Amino acid sequence: MSTPAGGDGQPFVVLGVSAGIAAYKAVEVCRRLVDAGVHVAPVLTERATRFVGRATFDALGSEPTQTSVFDEASPIPHTRLGQRADVVVVAPATADLLARYTAGLADDLLTTTLVATGAPVIVCPAMHTEMWEHPSVRDNLTTLRARGVIVIPPEEGRLAGSDIGTGRMAEPATIVSAVLDLLEGRKSGPRVPDLDGVRVVVSAGGTREAIDPVRFITNRSSGKQGHALAAAALRRGAEVVLVTASSWPRPAGAEIVEVETAAQMEDAVLARAADAHVVVMAAAVADFRPKVVIDTKLHKADGVPDLVLEATNDILAELGRRRRPGQVLVGFAAETHDMAGRARAKLVAKGVDLMVANDVSAPEVGFDHDTNEVTVFGADGSVTSVPLASKEAVADAVLDRVVPLVADRTA
């Protein structure tokens, strides 16, 4: 028997399903969330029932499926759902649903719930490649991300019919993991709102530097640590701008600026750092890029290209030169040897307050992992070691060092 909504402190998730062939995957999302102890309220659009029956979600969900604002005795079910939700996830999110949500249209139960809720929202786009690449869809997603909506991008694979391309909805395991991570962050909450009203800029991910239209130079950074820092700052009351080159799910509530290259990262960070109290440069910005980008795809028959590299600008050093009075600057140093020596040298050379260093050659540390182990070097000579822990825990440990610096400079 299903546990009543809110029973035993159960997290409450609204699972929205719009009218796409990927609706069959939402069944697995529902099952996995319920198995994880989540109360799931399924909300299907009327047209979604042409792809999957409501009886399936009735059997697997935590309460009867709803498809209309007139489904239940309450005259305002969208308000009930929106107010009780800890997270609203839409899987699949069709191009039509995304357009209506972006425009603020509320013409069915799902869109009214989306407009009525103050909870974090995750959308999982699913559509044919041509639709996914259409400028209107991209513009809508940019707008939603800027509003703090988390977008789990589609994957490449088999689509409806015999087509293959990008547009296949992310796998249920990926979606459920993002929902549970978000619920865990909301459950832990801020220990204290010690960054209330503080403007924080965080950079994340590894930049891509083009060689030709299909190849690029990059690094192993996933962006997880930067995104964890942004989420932790939000929980602690900060106003957060996340400048990211990563496809990792976006923390709800942050202003999102998407970039790809080191030059784009530089422009975005410097522009937004001008009025920030704290800047955290967690991104793995490429040190080098091809001096000349080739216009057409290189082929083996053309021989090995004469690839000449040039240095990119040092964003962290430029932040140090432009630092406004009272601003706190945090850098990151991913090293493979002499971590302490190199981190201390960078701390001085770049003029920052804190340098967060890790040895990425160590097991389960840094790139490609959900865990990290860091040492935080301070300009005041302090050294704080953070043993192997989740990247969320590391993020809070770093912010624990930031908070007193902000307090001293804004007192």
Catalytic residue numbers, as ranges? 219
| Bond prior to 92 in cis (omega within 30° of 0) | yes
Strands (E), 116-195: 121-125, 150-151, 155-158, 164-168
Give the separation between CA 111 and CA 69, rounded to whole angstroms. Answer: 10
Q: What does the DSSP assignment read for 256-274?
A: EEE--SHHHHHHHHHHHHT
Give the separation between CA 374 and CA 32, rounded to whole angstroms. Answer: 33
Please check whether residue 339 is in contact with residue 332, taking contact to mean a CB–CB distance below 8 angstroms. no
CA atoms within 13 A of residue 104's CA, in its CB half-sphere: 1
Sequence letter at residue 407: A
Number of CB atoms found within 10 A of residue 383's CB: 11
Q: Which residues pair with 200 in a beta bridge?
A: 240, 278
Please check whether residue 201 is in contact with residue 241, taking contact to mean a CB–CB distance below 8 angstroms. yes
Give the separation between CA 112 and CA 214, rounded to whole angstroms. Answer: 41
The CA-based dihedral angle spanning residues 60, 22, 12, 69, taken in that order and rounded to the nearest 10 degrees: -90
